[in-house]
Structure 1
Amino acid sequence: MSLMLDRRGVLLGLSGGLLAACTTTGRPTISGYEASAAPFYPVDVRPERIKEIVVGLRPGRDGGFRLEAEPFGDKILVHNYGHEGDGVTLSWGCGTLASELVAHTGADDVAIVGAGAQGLTTALILSRMGKRVTVYADKFHPYVTSNVAGALILTAASYGDVPIDTVARVNALARTGFDQYENQPGTGVTRVRHHYLQRRRQDQAEPGEKTLFGCPFNSVTHPTMIDMSLYLPYLMKQARDLGAIFYTKRFESPTELSALSQPVIVNCTGLGAGALFGDEAVHPVWGQLVRLHPQPEIDYSYVAHAGDGQLYMFPRETSIVLGGSRRRDVWSLEPDPTETQRLLYQHGKLAERARRIVSMKVAA
């Protein structure tokens, strides 16, 4: 794909949403938090630093994710799909519950369809349980949707119509499932100091409210951050080392699926479940990432809102991820140059503020 950009558009900006929301009306100052916290080095968002631009289709589902078992001819079909943008976040929670549904069947031979975060995590859990696992997928890393995920592990309080007790258990497992990999070489699993920036100016902050880059925020959290380019192949190797087998195969109909020899099949096909099983609640949610070359000094992340949409910046070992795109029912996998410009411009305004913080602290 072409990385040629309209640099004039980048410099002039597509809207003033974030700039208007997060600058002060007077002379820029350093907030108490910015002065006392660890340095906030600026992200270098120059177009020539783009490593790649990628598009993914999140597997959305009206009513929330589907996690249940049902008869499938003479077999049992366990559904585990429809997580939208939380497929990675919920992988250990939903993978564990799906594996429990498999265990209740008493079967020792299991097929898993799909090799994203949900499929690979479920395969690993079942392999650890001593099951014979075969994973079928038409695509593997780095060509799966999970590879495009921002992958900051933050759960939601609810997921559509999913029972609240199921959500609570899935969320608890989701938050602890990655602990075994944290800071282990080659896993891509780390912690990051994270900020959710509000759409108000620094001079509009409430008394005692922290501010960063001119935007108020409530608190600093330290969620898990996943570098999917490292994590997915690591999961696959772990499952393979325990005996899991991987085949490249695309299923066009339930009839083809029912021809598998395994008595239990786990459906982790994500967006493909709509066509394969006629689930009309499934829909794509388009998202685009701009991946910049890595900056080891960037050890913080943020989610912010501009007048033209959401923004997020996540640092990884192999890249800096700029994102915030979300378009329902868009099936195209083509990058949108206008979205690329938006991301570079809006993240650039925050980087400009970060640059001022560093220079003012040095001067002080």
Structure 2
Amino acid sequence: MKRRDFFQGMGATLALASAAPQSLGVTVPQGEPTHRGVASRGSVSLAPIDARVDRITEIYTCLRPFRLTGPRIETQQLGNKLIVHNYGHGGSGWSLSWGSSRIALQLLQKKARNTRRLGVIGCGPIGLTSAILAQRAGLPVTLYAKEIPPQVASMGATGHWSPDSQFCVAAFASRWCRRWIEMADFSYKMYQDLLGLPGDPVQWYYGYKLSNSSFDVAAPRGEPEFAKFNNPNRRYQPIQVDLAPDEHPFSFPYVRRWQNLLFNINSYARLLLSDFLAAGGKIHIRHFESAEELLSLPEKTIINATGYGAKTLFNDPEIVAIRGQTARLVQQPEIKYAIRAQDFLFIPRRDGLVVQYIDRAGSYNNEDDSPDFQEASDAVEQLAAVMAGLRY
């Protein structure tokens, strides 16, 4: 993850930024969206988002570790070490971390039944959940990482539940259906147990998808066809609802309302880290340049959860970088709804309102992790335009 001090010398850019719409000064009810009968007709009141470029507090960029064939969850013998790989989840790392780590641990227990202690490489969501599940299975764990939260690259993720986002290409979907359901089920259950904790590490949120045309029309993105999965026996989200014009305050002819799980990544990552340390876990800050360096570690069994770093560390030619960038706006506690419209996604995280430009061409197979202020500005200005048309 790279973060740029982009405030220096950007006065001229801010002068061109969208000013806050006058409607932002209107007093509206606070708290959750107020719906008076979605099945019947009713009005909705939403607190307006103060969407201005000068309210950007930070820009995060990261490279999603995508593999065409899907994540690498398998064992490898390296000298006298048993390596259990657990990486390459594309845009599904946070969502599937618990389920994927459970499978990795099962492989470890099958291949190395006499394991007395474990090393884990990587301190993102996959590394932390792998370490915690191993501790709960009775193993002492040492975690090796060049960075720990909040410095790890995955802290720049949007933070919404997306278990099949850029998981693999469609041609390999059939290989993963049963295992994907296993991972999604276990992860979903773990997240239900985290609801309501202090700091809201996980919570439910409302969202609105807005469009000037039918939702069935999909624009090409210059990317491969990614696999889509579902569990025929259960839903991981409530059914989405198409709203009539008098059921929403937006100036779009097509509006769809959804609910989804949200990870407040700062508080959630701190919770994972504190749980690991409280259970006796140890952390060594260390950067490995080659896989051979792992031979010097005292642990005989190692889980590799290095994400995009595995491309170089284990010479994995299958990893393709998918560039991602999010911008944070100053928090507004009254904002508790998301928006997906035009080319942006807005998420109401507690640790800062998140705006992402998600349809910009060139993200696939792009290893440039430098923050792009213009990209962030474009997303915020689109959000401001949606707010300008908000009806009261």
Aligned residue pairs: how many?
330
Residue in 2 aligned with 1:10? 17
Q: Distance in 1 between matches of 2:302 and 2:139?
A: 12
Residue in 2 aligned with 1:220? 258
SS at match of 1:220: strand
Residue in 2 aligned with 1:337? 373
Q: CA distance change for structure 1 residues 247 and 90 in 2, over 3 Å: closer, same or farther?
A: same
| Matching of residue 322 in structure 1 with residue 355 in structure 2 | yes
Q: CA distance change for structure 1 residues 103 and 320 in 2, over 3 Å: closer, same or farther?
A: same
Residue in 2 aligned with 1:112? 120
The answer to whether the 8 Å contact 2:129/2:272 transfers is yes
Q: Distance in 2 between matches of 1:44 and 1:186?
A: 23
SS at match of 1:36: coil
| Matching of residue 186 in structure 1 with residue 199 in structure 2 | yes
The answer to whether the 8 Å contact 1:99/1:126 transfers is yes
The answer to whether the 8 Å contact 1:42/1:352 transfers is no
Q: 2:67 corresponds to which letter in structure 1?
A: R
Q: Distance in 1 between matches of 2:294 and 2:43?
A: 55
The worse-fitting range, judged by mean Cα deviation, of 326-335 and 126-135 is 326-335
The worse-fitting range, judged by mean Cα deviation, of 207-216 and 330-339 is 207-216
Q: 2:160 aligns with which of 123, 136, 152?
A: 152
The worse-fitting range, judged by mean Cα deviation, of 93-102 and 236-245 is 93-102
Q: CA distance change for structure 1 residues 185 and 252 in 2, over 3 Å: closer, same or farther?
A: same
1:119-176 per-residue CA deviation (whole Å, 9 max, x = no partner) reads 0111111111111111101111111122111110132286333521111111112222
Q: Distance in 2 between matches of 1:302 and 1:100?
A: 39
Residue in 1 aligned with 2:325? 288
Superposition deviation, residue 219 in structure 1: 4.3
Superposition deviation, residue 208 in structure 1: 6.8
| Matching of residue 90 in structure 1 with residue 96 in structure 2 | yes
The answer to whether the 8 Å contact 1:93/1:171 transfers is yes
Q: 1:80 aligns with which of 74, 77, 86?
A: 86
| Matching of residue 246 in structure 1 with residue 283 in structure 2 | yes
Q: Give identity over the alignment, percent.
A: 27
Superposition deviation, residue 198 in structure 1: 3.9
Normalised to the residue count of structure 2, the TM-score between the two structures is 0.77
Superposition deviation, residue 209 in structure 1: 4.7
1:72-123 per-residue CA deviation (whole Å, 9 max, x = no partner) reads 2222211111112211011111111112212222113111100001101111
Which segments of 5 or more consecutive residues in structure 2 lack a partner in the other structure? 20-35, 216-240
Q: 2:60 aligns with which of 54, 65, 89?
A: 54
| Matching of residue 66 in structure 1 with residue 72 in structure 2 | yes
1:56-81 per-residue CA deviation (whole Å, 9 max, x = no partner) reads 22222222211112322222211111
1:17-63 per-residue CA deviation (whole Å, 9 max, x = no partner) reads xxxxxxxxxxxxxx996973652222111122222122122222222
Q: 1:220 corresponds to which letter in structure 2?
A: W
Q: CA distance change for structure 1 residues 181 and 41 in 2, over 3 Å: closer, same or farther?
A: same
More helix by share: 1
Superposition deviation, residue 329 in structure 1: 2.8
Normalised to the residue count of structure 1, the TM-score between the two structures is 0.83
Q: 2:312 corresponds to which letter in structure 1?
A: A
Q: Distance in 2 between matches of 1:254 and 1:52?
A: 34
Q: CA distance change for structure 1 residues 41 and 131 in 2, over 3 Å: closer, same or farther?
A: same
Superposition deviation, residue 9 in structure 1: 4.4
Q: Distance in 2 between matches of 1:189 and 1:35?
A: 31
The answer to whether the 8 Å contact 2:86/2:304 transfers is yes
Superposition deviation, residue 244 in structure 1: 1.1
Alignment of 1:169-318 (within 5 A): 169-200=182-213, 209-210=243-244, 212=248, 213-215=250-252, 216-221=254-259, 223-304=260-341, 306=342, 310-318=343-351
| Matching of residue 125 in structure 1 with residue 117 in structure 2 | no
Residue in 2 aligned with 1:18? none
Q: Distance in 2 between matches of 1:338 and 1:208?
A: 33
Q: CA distance change for structure 1 residues 199 and 81 in 2, over 3 Å: closer, same or farther?
A: farther
The answer to whether the 8 Å contact 1:186/1:234 transfers is no
Q: Distance in 2 between matches of 1:255 and 1:37?
A: 63
The answer to whether the 8 Å contact 2:75/2:83 transfers is yes
